[in-house]
């Protein structure tokens, strides 16, 4: 869990009203589903080990009382240069060996690292923001197969060789494999309503910047 805590600027919040912002994983909190759509008010955090872990993280970051403005950002898969999810994918995709994971039909909530940082900064600086924000891109209908095709296109390489679910389970174990093989459609309804303006709302542009 990434946690950012600082005193409030006098121009934004009273000195007696500090703020706390923390980040957890939306892909672990919301239950995988091929049909359900999850926003910040949707239930979750109680169906397996990782969802319960996220619930405990969020509870540990929460301060008692009403004197602190608190924001939790639930992030999707973070796309950025120099590591993270893309770091593990680039080599096989550059070699033309990339493709969808499992069926490829599962939703793939993602966000560019610049937008994740932007949402955290927005949460700290905007005094009206409070509660949960989904740190995912607005293009929430992206499936894993569509993500693989977009990454292949950004690299100028084909991306049609699937990674079988049995291999994913063998490499990552059953619990972690679920996070890759079963996705969820997560929408940033409250994030958008709070006034945050995305730098990379579309997948193609985000991936082109990451692999450039």
Tell me the per-residue pLDDT of 133-168, one tens digit each, with 9 for 90 and over: 999 999 878 999 999 999 999 999 999 999 999 988
Whether residue 51 contacts residue 57, with contact meaning beta carbons closer than 8 Å, is answered with: no
Whether residue 61 contacts residue 22, with contact meaning beta carbons closer than 8 Å, is answered with: yes
Write down the mean pLDDT value for the chain: 86
DSSP β-ladder status, 19-25 and 131-135: unpaired
**Band of pLDDT at residue 14, cut at 50, 70 and 90:** very low
Average the pLDDT over 22-48 and give the result. Answer: 87
Checking if the pLDDT of 111 tops 80, the result is: yes
Give the torsion through C-alpha atoms of 184, 189, 190, 192, to 10 deg: 120
What is the DSSP code string of the chain?
-EEEEEPPPTTTS-TTS-EEEEEEEHHHHSPP-SS-EE-TTS--S-SSHHHHHHHHHHHHHPPSSSSSEEEEEEE-EEE-TTSHHHHHHHHHHHTT----BTTS-SB--EEEHHHHHHHHHHHHH-TT--EEEEES-S-TT-BHHHHHHHHHHHHTS-----B-HHHHHHHHHHHHHHHHHS--EE--HHHHHTT---S--SHHHHHHHHH-
Determine the pLDDT at residue 204. Answer: 96
Whether residue 71 contacts residue 21, with contact meaning beta carbons closer than 8 Å, is answered with: yes
Determine the pLDDT at residue 18. Answer: 54
**Band of pLDDT at residue 26, cut at 50, 70 and 90:** confident
Checking if the pLDDT of 112 tops 80, the result is: yes
Would you list the domain boundaries of the chain?
20-211
**Band of pLDDT at residue 61, cut at 50, 70 and 90:** confident
How many Å apart are CA 98 and CA 67, to the nearest integer?
A: 50
The pLDDT tens digits of the residues spanning 86-108 come to: 888 899 999 999 999 999 999 99
**Band of pLDDT at residue 21, cut at 50, 70 and 90:** low
20-211, CATH topology level: Rossmann fold (3.40.50)
Determine the pLDDT at residue 174. Answer: 82
């Amino acid at each position: 869990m990434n946690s950012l805590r600082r005193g409030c600027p006098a121009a934004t919040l009273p000195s007696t009203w500090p703020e706390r912002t923390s980040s957890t994983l939306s892909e672990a909190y919301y239950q995988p589903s091929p049909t359900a759509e999850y926003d910040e008010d949707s239930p979750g955090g109680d169906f397996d080990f990782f969802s319960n872990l996220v619930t405990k993280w969020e509870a540990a970051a929460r301060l008692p009382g009403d004197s602190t403005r608190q924001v939790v950002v639930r992030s999707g898969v973070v796309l950025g240069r120099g590591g993270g999810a893309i770091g593990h994918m680039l080599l096989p995709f550059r070699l033309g060996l990339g493709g969808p994971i499992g069926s490829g039909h599962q939703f793939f909530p993602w966000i560019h690292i610049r937008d994740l940082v932007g949402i955290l900064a927005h949460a700290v600086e905007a005094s009206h923001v409070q509660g949960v924000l989904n740190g995912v891109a607005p293009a929430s209908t992206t499936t894993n197969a569509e993500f693989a095709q977009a990454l292949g296109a950004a690299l100028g390489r084909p991306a049609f060789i699937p990674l079988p679910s049995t291999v994913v389970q063998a490499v990552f174990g059953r619990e972690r494999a679920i996070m890759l093989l079963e996705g969820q459609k997560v929408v940033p309804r409250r994030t958008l309503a709070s006034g945050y303006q995305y730098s990379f709302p579309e997948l193609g542009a985000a991936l082109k910047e990451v692999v450039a």
